């Protein structure tokens, strides 16, 4: 940024007309550039999928859709997928809300431990829960044998349970952030005036949280129906769209039918995305990255408190047990069969390389994603050009895009010259950038809404160039949004399997794919050890990042802008 | 100030991250044996030639899909370990670099293409595995004939891989079709389907699931059985009287490679008796005579197969399989 500013100054010396032109139009030029990026890396791959779904070897045809809509199998697959998404979303939201309520409004003593247990699985690949469930509750699992139970883990129920456990952390993270950024004064005044906890919840907390709840619902729905690891391991004979799409592409190499399944997977997501946008029309944005405020613990009435405690205990208990199984499995040759303590799983060198690759990809993706996200947010809020709404919708649509779709789209769009990008780190990083862009953009938008444009205008009136204003005023304000985009992209990119699994190439294995393969192959020890290593390293990265942000913020004496 | 600090930190992290890619002789390969066997083979190549083989684990089916999708711009220099169908397809479409290796001279014809388009580094088969503990508990014994698997007592207790995603499962399918003929063969598969709990993604997965006692019987690749038993799984294995099928594990050089010399060196190495020993030790039946870890000196009884026809029929049989075996598919 500093260099661009410098070269701009040089140009300014040669003629102030260029400077004026740039000052007046830089935002439009920026917008055009960003639009090109979005068009190329987000819209084009999706269009490639759409085209593939209607284009056979002999020209355009609807044959593949006919095949989809005339076979009961696919109907069932679609129905199961939607049902899974709905159940998961509701359950995750309820549990996530209870956890978030307890950690932001509940007793201090419980806040930290609950928070840690709820957040740790965020870094673990979602399908890990499938493995723990098999070891514990499989037909010959430890618990099943101990109590001589007869139940059916393989099937719809197993997938729902494992997916729910896997996505509680995401629900919790989003709702906790929403609850934190609610001003507690309203609730406290209501409480002081004698309102019961239930009344406060019903009339203040939940209505205020509505935008955050909706957003979390959308994200969880889209993520659950696209993430196929748990279904691939536990579904048995129950069909789901995401694993079917995966087999269709990687097993049968039927790209046409695979594209049809992807398009069908997008449809419900897009519908929900528009419903969500419609419902939020005119409401203020509440997102990750909001200003956190800690609330004083209040006395919660038993009617509310007891269910809360039951739900949170059960949820964190289940997560804790699953995790304990993973931890134990990492130290045994075959947990539950031959319980011999070994360290060999940790010494497996190939997984280290995969972890290093994952961190590289996620880091690159997070940096690029956060920068693009902040710039997009600026253009969307401050720009006055034709197509602004379109750019906004396009950059937020990442929320509604199942990972499988963008994975296949990238494979279709970028695997042949002149656009050959497959077979390297960049395609993986770019894929993550554009899938997870929405969070950074949204956080940026909400930050920008907090400052009035007058500040920027004042700066311009005093003679600052556009870039100076941007650098000195806009960037500091948007720094938290940058961090939010960075963290979200980094965390989700590192564990997400659904898109990158189509794009990894020899010599560049990623941890998430490596763990999945080891898991499917029955190498549970290696899968578990790799996960534990991944979690430790990611935690270290986050700690370093946290340290840097704190240091730099304190160093420059930056204060949060007043809304 | 703040901006500068961050950019320095970012630049430093970048440098560290990128420094990992050192320069040495290395090739990229798609390898379809199990993850630890891939590693073993890559290590052997590294030890003997100094060439590093970068690889990702993929199943045979996935490698075939990958190669089809990428043709003719492959992201790898070689395939070391794919199904025969991929090898035949690559030869037919001219996706290989033919190389008649002197090191492969004298290998039986199942193992090497006369024009040097592919080399078969080892045949593998499928076997029946059972969980000792669960069998004993249920008072059952291992079936003697494949047909015994159709008996109602095995309902819901058999797992096998899906031919849509697994090359091993494709081998099972074409072997049964060759054994019983098309019509009887499909009837057998449909009968078996009634007892099969579900079809797994990978050809080895049933070994693990049966080893854990999740299911009593599995039809699975013979590749890792010995290792799993050594690891401590309570497994028994057998080949029913009718015999078993086989498929090759093919290696080939992909067109467009910029590292032909390294690839040739590797192909030469794969033809040596020493490499056959490595493969036999894992459990493969090899081009050069070597004592097989699983079968010992006497090889199993093989069903008579035409691998070329099997490769041609694969896609047609996938459609029939879906139509006949997927409930509510029609």
> At A560, is the pLDDT very low, low, confident or very high (cuts 50, 70, 90)?
very low
Range of the domain at A295: 62-337
* Contact: A140, B330; criterion CB under 8 Å: no
Helices (H), A397-474: 403-413, 425-435, 437-450, 453-461, 466-469
Residues paired with residue B125 on neighbouring β-strands, in sequence order: B246
Query: Where is pLDDT greater, at B146 or A306?
Result: B146
Q: In the prediction, which pLDDT does B6 show?
A: 55
User: What is the DSSP code string of A489-512?
Assistant: HHHHHHH--TTGGGT-BTTB--HH
Are the C-beta atoms of residues B303 and B243 closer than 8 Å to each other? yes
Mean pLDDT of chain B: 87
Closest-approach residue (CA) in chain A for B68: A253
Distance CA A494, CA A512 (A): 7
CA atoms within 13 A on the CB side of A43: 13
Average pLDDT of the residues in A352-378: 89
Residue A8 above 60 pLDDT?
Answer: no
Q: Return the higher-pLDDT residue of B230 and A424.
A: B230
Residue A286 has pLDDT above 50, yes or no: no
CA-based nearest residue in chain B for residue A235: B198
Higher pLDDT, A487 or A164: A164
The two three-digit tokens of residue B247, written as one number: 């498929």
Place of tokens 């019509």: B183
Tell me if chain A has a CB within 8 Å of the CB of B234.
yes
Instruction: Select the more confidently predicted residue: B257 or A125.
Output: B257
- % of chain B exceeding 90 in pLDDT: 54
Distance from CA of A376 to the nearest CA of B (A): 20
Whether the per-residue pLDDT at A556 is higher than 50: the answer is: no
* Same structural domain, A279 and A328: yes
Chain-centroid distance, C-alpha A438: 9
Q: For the beta carbon of residue A69, count every other beta carbon within 10 angstroms.
A: 13
Of A247-261, A443-457, B15-29, the range with the highest mean pLDDT is: A247-261
Whether the predicted pLDDT of A13 surpasses 90: no
What local confidence, expressed as pLDDT, does residue A438 receive? 84
More confident residue, B7 or A479: A479
At A28 the pLDDT is: 84
Could you give the CA distance from residue B224 to residue B274 in angstroms, rounded to a whole number? Answer: 20
Q: A85 Cβ partners below 8 Å, 6+ apart?
A: A221, A224, A225, A268
The pLDDT assigned to A288 comes to 39
Omega cis (within 30) before B279: no
Domains in chain B and their CATH numbers?
26-123+247-282 (3.40.190.10), 125-245+303-325 (3.40.190.10)
Average pLDDT of span B298-324: 88
| A108-119 and A302-329 helices, crossing angle to 10° | 40
Contact B207 A423 (CB under 8 A): no
Q: How many domains does chain A have?
A: 2
Hey, are the CB atoms on A340 and B232 less than 8 Å from each other? Answer: yes
Identify whether residues A143 and A288 lie together within a single domain. Answer: yes
Which residues in chain B belong to E strands, given as ranges?
Answer: 26-31, 52-57, 78-82, 119-131, 158-161, 196-200, 217-221, 235-238, 246-253
Q: Look at residue B1 in the predicted model and tell me its pLDDT.
A: 46
Asked if the Cβ–Cβ distance from A363 to B13 is below 8 Å, we say yes
Whether A368 is in a domain gets the answer yes
User: Which residues have CB under 8 Å from A354's CB, separation 6+?
Assistant: A509, A510, A511, A513, A514, A530
Using the Cβ of A247 and the Cβ atoms of chain B, whether some distance falls under 8 Å is answered with yes
Which of these, B43, B89, B31, lies nearest to B269 by C-alpha position?
B43
**For range B153-179, the mean pLDDT:** 92
Mean pLDDT on A84-109: 91
Residues A51 and A175 in one domain: no
- One domain, residues A372 and A293: no
Q: Are residues A318 and A191 in the same domain?
A: yes
Higher model confidence: residue A47 or residue A8? A47
CB B219 within 8 A of CB B175: no
At A354, which CATH number?
A: 1.10.3720.10
H or E element that contains A332: strand A332-334
Q: Are A294 and A404 contained in the same domain?
A: no
Best mutation target, A506, A525, A545, A556, to test chain B (most B CBs within 10 A): A506
Residue A291 forms part of a structural domain: yes
- pLDDT at A124 > cutoff 80: no
Q: How far is A155 from chain B (nearest CA, A)?
A: 10
**Predicted pLDDT of residue B145:** 95
Average pLDDT over residues B178-201: 93
What is residue B258's three-state secondary structure? coil
Chain B nearest-CA residue for A421 = B75
Instruction: Write a three-state SS string for B71-101.
Output: CCCCCCCEEEEECHHHHHHHHHHCCECCCCC
**Residue A525, class by beta-carbon neighbours within 10 Å (0-12 exposed, 13-18 middle, 19+ buried)?**
buried
Of A507, A493, A503, A65, which is closest to residue A256 (Cα–Cα)? A65
pLDDT at A412 over 90: no
**Going by C-beta distance under 8 Å and a sequence separation of 6 or more, which residues neighbour residue A440?**
A369, A370, A372, A373, A374, A376, A377, A481, A482, A484, A485, A486, A488, A489
The reply to whether A327 and A413 lie within a common domain is no
- Residue in chain A closest to B78 (alpha carbons) equals A506
Any B CB within 8 A of A520 CB: yes
Please check whether residue A343 lies inside any domain of the structure.
Answer: no
C-alpha dihedral, B5 to B10 to B11 to B12, nearest 10°: 90
Q: Is the pLDDT of residue A6 over 90?
A: no
B78: phi then psi, degrees, rounded to nearest 5: -145, 160
B14 has pLDDT over 70:
no
Same domain, A376 and A279: no
What is the pLDDT at residue B210? 93
Instruction: Tell me what pLDDT residue B100 has.
Output: 93
Q: Peptide bond preceding B72: is omega within 30 degrees of 0, i.e. cis? A: yes
Bigger pLDDT: B133 or A304?
A: B133
pLDDT at A107: 82
Q: What is the pLDDT of residues A45-56, one digit of tens each?
A: 999 999 999 988
A13 or A441: which leads in pLDDT: A441
Calculate mean pLDDT across residues A152-178: 89
C-beta neighbour count of A20 within 10 angstroms: 12
Domain membership flag for residue A109: yes
pLDDT at residue A557, rounded to an integer: 38
B34 touches chain A (CB under 8 A): yes
Average pLDDT over residues A362-382: 89
Among the residue ranges A350-354, A512-516, B1-5, B189-193, the one predicted with the least confidence is B1-5
- Chain A residues 103-132 with a CB less than 8 Å from chain B: none
pLDDT at position A290: 43
pLDDT at B254: 95
B205 touches chain A (CB under 8 A): yes
Q: A368: nearest CA in chain B?
A: B10
Q: Which residues, at least 6 apart from B298, have a Cβ–Cβ distance to it below 8 Å?
A: none
Pair of tokens at residue A440: 């950074």
* Contact with chain A for residue B136, Cβ under 8 A: no
Percent of chain B with pLDDT over 70: 92
**Residue B329 is nearest to which of A72, A336, A504, comparing CB atoms?**
A72
- Among A311, A337, A363, identify where a domain stops: A337
Under the banding of pLDDT at 50, 70 and 90, the label for residue B7 is low
* Predicted interface score ipTM higher than 0.85: no
Compute how many other C-beta atoms are within 10 angstroms of the C-beta atom of residue A291: 13
Predicted model pTM? 0.81
Read off the pLDDT of residues A219-230 as tens digits, 9 standing for 90 and up: 889 888 888 888
- The predicted model gives B29-57 an average pLDDT of 88
Based on the fold, state whether residues A536 and A470 are members of the same structural domain: yes
Is pLDDT of A350 > 50?
yes
Q: Is the pLDDT of residue A287 over 70?
A: no
How does residue B253 score in pLDDT terms, banded at 50, 70 and 90? very high
Let me know if residue A342 belongs to a domain.
no
Q: Region A283-288: what's the mean pLDDT?
A: 46
| Mean pLDDT (whole number) for A537-550 | 80
Q: Which comes out higher in pLDDT, residue B327 or A71?
A: A71
Q: In chain B, positions 248-307, which contact chain A (CB-CB < 8 Å)?
A: none
Q: Are residues A363 and A280 in the same domain?
A: no
Greater model confidence, A59 or A262: A262
pLDDT exceeds cutoff 70 at A116 = yes
What Cα–Cα distance (Å) separates residue A20 from each residue in A11, A31, A32, A389, A539?
11, 18, 19, 27, 47
Q: Which of B69, B95, B155, B320 is best to mutate for the A interface (most A CBs within 10 A)?
A: B69
User: Which of B59, B70, B199 lies nearest to residue A415, judging by beta carbons?
Assistant: B70
Q: Give the model's confidence band at B234: pLDDT under 50 very low, under 70 low, under 90 confident, else very high.
A: very high
Q: Does B166 touch chain A (CB under 8 A)?
A: yes
A18-22, A197-201, B208-212, range with the lowest pLDDT: A18-22
Residue A253 sits at the chain B interface (C-beta within 8 Å)? yes
- In the listed set A268, A302, A337, which residue is the last one of a domain according to the structure? A337
What value does the mean pLDDT of chain A take? 81
In a domain, A562, yes or no: no
Has residue A563 been placed in a domain? no
A-B contacts (CB, under 8 Å): 169
Q: Which residues of A touch B206 (CB under 8 A)?
A: none
Residue A294 lies in a domain: yes
Tell me: do A317 and A421 sit in the same domain: no
Choice among A384-388, B188-192, B227-231 with the minimum mean pLDDT? A384-388
Q: Residue A367 is nearest to which of B10, B35, B330, comparing CB atoms?
A: B10
**Is the separation of the CB atoms in A377 and A445 below 8 Å?**
yes
Backbone angles phi, psi at B98, to 5 degrees: -65, 140
Rounded Cα gap, residues A322 and A163, in angstroms: 13
Mean per-residue pLDDT, B135-150: 94
Q: CB–CB of A255 and B69 under 8 A?
A: yes
Which of A163, A181, A164, A168 is closest to A115 using CA atoms? A168
User: Is residue A77 located within the same domain as residue A154?
Assistant: yes
Select from B70, B207, B329 the Cβ nearest to the Cβ of A71: B329
| pLDDT at residue B20 greater than cutoff 50 | no
Asked whether the predicted pLDDT for residue A428 surpasses 50, the reply is yes
Of A282, A308, A337, at which residue does a domain stop?
A: A337
């Amino acid at each position: 940024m500093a260099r661009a500013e410098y070269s701009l100054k040089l140009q300014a010396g040669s003629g102030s007309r260029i400077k004026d032109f740039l000052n007046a139009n830089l935002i439009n030029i920026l917008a055009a550039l960003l639009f090109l990026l979005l068009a190329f890396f987000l819209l084009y791959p999706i269009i490639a999928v759409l085209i593939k779904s209607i284009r056979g070897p002999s020209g355009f045809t609807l044959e593949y859709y006919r095949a989809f809509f005339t076979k009961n199998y696919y109907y069932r697959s679609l129905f199961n997928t939607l049902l899974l998404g709905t159940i998961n979303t509701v359950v995750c939201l309820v549990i996530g809300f209870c956890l978030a309520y307890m950690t932001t409004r509940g007793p201090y003593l419980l806040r930290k431990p609950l928070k840690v247990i709820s957040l740790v699985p965020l870094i673990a690949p979602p399908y890990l829960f499938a493995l723990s469930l098999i070891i514990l509750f499989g037909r010959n699992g430890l618990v099943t044998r101990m109590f001589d139970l007869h139940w059916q883990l393989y099937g719809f129920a197993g997938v729902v349970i494992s997916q729910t456990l896997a996505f509680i952390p995401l629900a919790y993270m989003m709702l906790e952030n929403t609850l934190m950024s609610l001003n507690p004064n309203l609730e406290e005044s209501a409480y002081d005036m004698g309102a019961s906890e239930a009344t406060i919840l019903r009339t203040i907390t939940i209505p205020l949280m509505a935008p955050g709840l909706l957003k979390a619902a959308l994200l969880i729905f889209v993520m659950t129906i696209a993430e196929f690891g748990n279904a691939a391991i536990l579904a048995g004979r129950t069909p789901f769209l995401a694993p079917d799409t995966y087999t269709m592409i990687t097993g049968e190499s039927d790209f046409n039918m695979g594209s049809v399944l992807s398009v069908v997977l997008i449809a419900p997501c897009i519908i929900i995305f528009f419903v969500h946008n419609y419902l939020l029309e005119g409401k203020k944005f509440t997102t990750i990255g909001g200003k956190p405020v800690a609330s004083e613990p209040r006395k919660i009435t038993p009617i509310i408190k007891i269910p809360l405690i039951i739900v949170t205990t059960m949820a964190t208990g289940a997560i804790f047990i699953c995790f304990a199984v993973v931890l134990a499995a990492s130290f045994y040759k075959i947990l539950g069969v031959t319980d011999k303590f070994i360290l060999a799983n940790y010494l497996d060198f190939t997984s280290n390389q995969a972890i290093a690759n994952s961190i590289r990809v996620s880091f690159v993706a997070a940096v690029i994603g956060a920068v693009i996200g902040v710039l997009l947010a600026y253009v969307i809020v401050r720009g006055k050009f034709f197509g602004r709404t379109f750019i906004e919708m396009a950059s937020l649509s990442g929320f509604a895009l199942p990972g499988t779709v963008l994975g296949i789209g990238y494979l279709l769009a970028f695997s042949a010259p002149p656009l050959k990008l497959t077979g390297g780190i960049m395609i993986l990083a770019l894929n993550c950038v554009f899938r997870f862009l929405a969070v950074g953009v949204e956080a940026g938008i909400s930050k920008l809404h907090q400052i009035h444009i007058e500040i920027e205008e004042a700066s311009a009136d005093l003679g600052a160039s556009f870039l100076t204003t941007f650098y000195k005023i806009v960037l500091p304000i948007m720094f938290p949004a940058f961090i939010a985009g960075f963290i979200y992209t980094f965390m989700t990119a590192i564990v997400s399997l659904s898109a990158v699994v189509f794009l990894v190439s020899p010599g560049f294995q990623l941890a998430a794919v490596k763990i999945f393969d080891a898991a499917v192959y029955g190498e549970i020890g290696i899968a578990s050890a790799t996960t534990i290593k991944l979690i430790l390293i990611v935690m270290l990265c986050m700690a370093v990042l946290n340290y840097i942000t704190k240091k730099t913020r304190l160093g420059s004496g930056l204060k949060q802008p007043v809304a | 100030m703040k901006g500068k600090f961050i950019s320095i930190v970012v630049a430093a992290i970048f440098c560290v991250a990128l420094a990992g890619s050192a320069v040495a002789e290395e090739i990229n390969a798609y390898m379809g044996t199990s993850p630890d066997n891939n590693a073993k083979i890559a290590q052997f190549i590294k030890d003997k030639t100094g060439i590093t083989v970068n690889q990702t684990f993929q199943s045979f089916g996935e490698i075939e899909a990958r190669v089809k999708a990428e043709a003719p711009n492959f992201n790898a220099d070689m395939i070391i370990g794919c199904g025969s169908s991929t090898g035949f397809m690559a030869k037919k479409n001219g996706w290989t670099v033919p190389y008649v290796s002197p090191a492969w001279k004298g290998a039986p014809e199942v193992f090497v293409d006369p024009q040097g388009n592919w080399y078969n580094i080892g045949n593998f088969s499928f076997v029946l595995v059972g969980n000792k503990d669960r069998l004993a508990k249920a008072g059952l014994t291992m079936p003697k004939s494949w047909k015994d698997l159709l008996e109602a007592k095995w309902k819901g207790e058999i797992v096998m891989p899906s031919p849509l995603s697994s090359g091993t499962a494709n081998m099972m399918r074409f072997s049964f079709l060759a054994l019983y003929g098309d019509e009887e063969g499909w009837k057998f598969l449909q009968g078996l389907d009634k007892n099969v709990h579900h079809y797994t993604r990978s050809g080895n997965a049933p070994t693990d699931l049966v080893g854990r006692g999740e299911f009593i019987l599995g039809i699975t690749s013979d590749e890792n059985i010995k290792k799993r038993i050594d690891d401590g799984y309570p497994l028994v294995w057998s080949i029913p009287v009718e015999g078993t099928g086989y498929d090759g594990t093919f290696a080939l050089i992909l067109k467009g490679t910029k590292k032909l010399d390294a690839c040739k060196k590797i192909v030469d190495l794969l033809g040596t008796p020493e490499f056959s020993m490595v493969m036999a030790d894992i459990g493969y039946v090899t081009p050069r005579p070597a004592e097989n870890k699983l079968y010992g000196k006497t090889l199993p009884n093989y069903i008579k197969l035409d691998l070329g026809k099997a490769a041609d029929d694969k896609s047609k049989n996938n459609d029939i399989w879906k139509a006949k075996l997927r409930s509510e598919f029609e």
